[in-house]
Amino acid sequence: MRGLPGNSKEAFEELRRLILSGEREQLRDLRDRLSNKERRSQDLASVLPEALKLSRERSDELMQALRPAVEGSIKESIEKEPDAFVEALHPIIGSMVRRFIAESLGNLMRSLNRTLERNFSWRGLKWRIEALRTRRSVDEVVMLHSLIYRVEQVFLIDRKTGMSLLRVTSDFAGRNGSGMAAGMLEVIQALVRDSFATGAESGIEEYWLGELQGWIVPGPYACLAVVIRGDPPRELATTLEDTIQSIHILKGSALANFKGDAAAFQSLRPDLEACLLAQYAANAADRTGSGKNVRAWIVVITVAAFLTASAIVGLRNELRWRTFVALLNAQPGVAVTSDHSGWFSKPEITGLRDPSLADATVVARAAGIDPARVHFHWKDFLALDPASIVQRFQKRFSPPASAQVSSKDGVLVLAGSAPYDWLERVRREAKFVPGVSGLDDSAVTVVYDAASILQRFNEKFDPPNTVNASVVQNTLVLSGEASQQWLDRVRSAVSMVPAIKSVDTSKVANLDERTFQRSKSVIEKAFIYFLANKDDIGSDGLIALSRLPDEIRRCEAAAKHLGWNITLEVLGYADAAGDEAKNVDLSQRRAHKVGDFLSLCGFQSTALKPIGMGGAAKPSRTERANSEPAQRGVTFKIIAEPASAAR
């Protein structure tokens, strides 16, 4: 008994599984159908076409809802891939364009023929006389004689209420006033109420109102009423029936549920305007034979030739004028604000002009226009655009062909190569040009002229006539004779002359050094004779000593120019006879004697160095007679050393 409840529960579960297994499978399939997107899409695709069809038959709400999305998708697709739409429309575009051109040319020729018939024929003259007699316009008289039919008014009438939902009229009907239109509408509404009150379908109803006739084309919810002048063909009825069917397809739901608001039908205006058709009789030329055709074609060809020639001349003049204005506006310092080509008046140009830059007459002649025929209205201004600044600079400085000039933010930029003199002038005067605030010549290669280099060298150093100068590869080569002072000045300052990097003075003779050596030789060869055993100068010695001061001064001056300090050694001698000590003392007194004399002549004692040399070497017995006087005297020796070493 204890196992019975458990057995009963298992049996119950088995029974429930057997009874509900089918429903469980269905629920599982339903859950899978709802959760599986692919199966749900297949189910929706199977019923979507029928749903769309039913929705369109009931109302146009779905079409209104889908229209923005479809239009946006098409617009986006055209913007992203226009080639696809071009390829799709390509097969029909050609035929459409050809048909349009053919119809346009045909209409043009027919209109031209009708115009010629009215103005250049007896028939046209009679029509004008009739218009004056009947007080009608010429167009109305021509229409009455050539019109076959014309649809003047089209009404869209609600069948239930007889109310006019939409009305369109031709231009001619609009010009003839609204009184007739109002009366015609009342007649049409009455006919609609009488003819279609029962709701039964019938054919086209026709009626007459004076010289006008009307057609009423019925539809399920509305009818199309037209007012026609003339004798229309039966093909017009087919056009009207197609139109009323198209209207019910587009606005069937709105027509069926019409409550008195006709604003929803304004979008049908193009459909109704397409019914405003007209047809005219063949032109007079077709009816009066080939003679008038020839005359008409002669007039057409003459007028066409005249118009073509006038158009060609006018177009050529206009193109020339446009070219002139474009060239003028492109000139630096010119801003054209307005222009008038003047077909029948004097051409005019108005704008701003920098007087220092632009000359409009030159541009006019270059464009083939006589500047005397153009009236210029200029207002002066200072052009600061880069092109104007560059042209103003070029006009003032005339740069060489090898130099390139540009302007950036007021800074004049030079490139290429240019002569030094021209570049120096630009550096001095560039900022005098209006609009130039700085100069950048870092990219310029300076070209030097040898003659100009020598001229600048001569102006700066004033070389003596004994010096010749030349320039070889930026080296100044000097030859001839020059002083040490001038050579030192050239060596120290020659680099200040542009294009000279070094100087070669190897071929220049130093005048100061030559003077020094010559004076030194004269001084050192001099000999001052003294009396025997005395420190008194002999007569010959006095003569020789009197000549020495000038020579010593020349030697000192030359040494000073050379940067040397000199010391004059005064060497005193005595003959070999006598005691040696006495000879040394005597030679010392003789040297001081000459030194004192030179000091009295203005020479510094520090530059004089008296030295007693003592007795000379004893000569041989045969030489004694001649050598003794030569041993009693004073000689000189010049010691030169650089001034810096002396300090």
The least confident of 16-30, 98-112, 276-290, 432-446 is 276-290
| Between residues 646 and 19, the one the model is more confident about | 19
Cα–Cα dist 276/191, whole Å: 21
Burial of 69 (0-12, 13-18, 19+ CB in 10 A): exposed
Q: Checking DSSP bridges between strand 608-615 and strand 212-218, what pairing results, if any?
A: unpaired
Per-position DSSP letters for 197-243, written without gaps between them: TT------EEEEETTEEEEEEE-SSEEEEEEEEE---THHHHHHHHH
Which pLDDT belongs to residue 229?
84
Give the homologous superfamily in CATH for domain 125-284: Longin domain (3.30.450.50)
Express the helix, strand and coil content of the chain in percent, nearest 5 each. 55, 20, 20
635 beta partners: 527, 571
pLDDT in tens, 315-335: 888 888 888 888 888 888 788
Burial of 213 (0-12, 13-18, 19+ CB in 10 A): middle
- Both tokens of 499, joined, read 């294009």
- 156: closest CA among 59, 243, 229? 243
Confidence check: pLDDT of 107 > 60? yes
- Both tokens of 443, joined, read 């990219």
Which pLDDT belongs to residue 480?
85
435 φ, ψ (degrees, to nearest 5): 95, -10
Contact 146, 138 (CB under 8 A): no
Confidence check: pLDDT of 285 > 50? no
Which pLDDT belongs to residue 59?
63
Which pLDDT belongs to residue 113?
64
Stated pTM of the model? 0.36
Which pLDDT belongs to residue 598?
85
Confidence check: pLDDT of 191 > 70? no
- In the three-class reduction of DSSP (H, G, I as helix; E, B as strand; rest coil), residue 136 is classed as coil
Question: For residue 197, what pLDDT band results from cuts at 50, 70 and 90?
Answer: low
Contact 223, 159 (CB under 8 A): yes
Q: Checking DSSP bridges between strand 348-353 and strand 375-380, what pairing results, if any?
A: parallel
What mean pLDDT comes out for the span 469-477? 81
Contact 407, 436 (CB under 8 A): yes
What mean pLDDT comes out for the span 481-487? 81
166 φ, ψ (degrees, to nearest 5): -160, 145
**Domains of the chain, residue spans:** 1-35, 81-111, 125-284, 294-380, 386-447, 450-508, 526-646
The fraction of the chain above a pLDDT of 90, given in percent, is: 0
- Both tokens of 514, joined, read 């030559």
Cα–Cα dist 565/646, whole Å: 7
Instruction: Tell me the fold of 526-646.
Output: 60s Ribosomal Protein L30; Chain: A; (3.30.1330)
Which pLDDT belongs to residue 467?
84
Instruction: State the chain's maximal CA–CA distance in angstroms.
Output: 190
Contact 386, 364 (CB under 8 A): no
282 φ, ψ (degrees, to nearest 5): -60, 150
pLDDT in tens, 286-314: 444 444 556 656 777 888 888 888 888 87
Most trustworthy range by pLDDT among 191-205, 266-280, 485-499: 266-280
Rg (CA), the chain: 64
Which pLDDT belongs to residue 605?
65
The string over 84-97, giving b where at least 16 C-beta atoms fall within 10 Å of a residue's C-beta and e elsewhere, is: eeeeeeeeeeeeee
What mean pLDDT comes out for the span 587-615? 83
What Å distances lie between residue 453 and 23, 149, 476, 496, 498, CA to CA? 118, 102, 9, 11, 7
pLDDT in tens, 530-586: 888 888 888 888 888 888 888 888 888 888 888 888 888 889 988 777 678 888 888
Which pLDDT belongs to residue 2?
45
pLDDT in tens, 582-596: 888 888 888 888 888
- Both tokens of 563, joined, read 């940067």
Chain-wide mean pLDDT for the chain?
Answer: 77
Q: Enter the DSSP assignment of 282.
A: P
Which pLDDT belongs to residue 101?
76
- 146: closest CA among 118, 122, 174, 169? 118
Burial of 356 (0-12, 13-18, 19+ CB in 10 A): middle
Contact 125, 202 (CB under 8 A): no
Question: For residue 647, what pLDDT band results from cuts at 50, 70 and 90?
Answer: very low
- In the three-class reduction of DSSP (H, G, I as helix; E, B as strand; rest coil), residue 135 is classed as coil
- In the three-class reduction of DSSP (H, G, I as helix; E, B as strand; rest coil), residue 168 is classed as strand
The fraction of the chain above a pLDDT of 70, given in percent, is: 79
Confidence check: pLDDT of 618 > 80? no
Instruction: Tell me the fold of 386-447.
Output: Histidine-containing Protein; Chain: A; (3.30.1340)
415 beta partners: 404, 443
Which pLDDT belongs to residue 296?
59
pLDDT in tens, 324-364: 888 888 888 788 888 887 666 788 888 888 777 667 788 88
Contact 364, 391 (CB under 8 A): no
Most trustworthy range by pLDDT among 397-411, 440-454, 486-500, 598-612: 397-411
Confidence check: pLDDT of 175 > 60? no
Question: For residue 622, what pLDDT band results from cuts at 50, 70 and 90?
Answer: very low
Confidence check: pLDDT of 283 > 50? no
Q: Does domain 294-380 have CATH number 1.10.3470?
A: no
The string over 129-164, giving b where at least 16 C-beta atoms fall within 10 Å of a residue's C-beta and e elsewhere, is: eebeeeeeeeebbbbeebbebbbbbbbbbbbbebeb
**294-380 and 386-447, same CATH topology:** no
**Can you tell me which residue has the tokens 């399939």?**
29
- 523: closest CA among 607, 639, 642, 635? 635
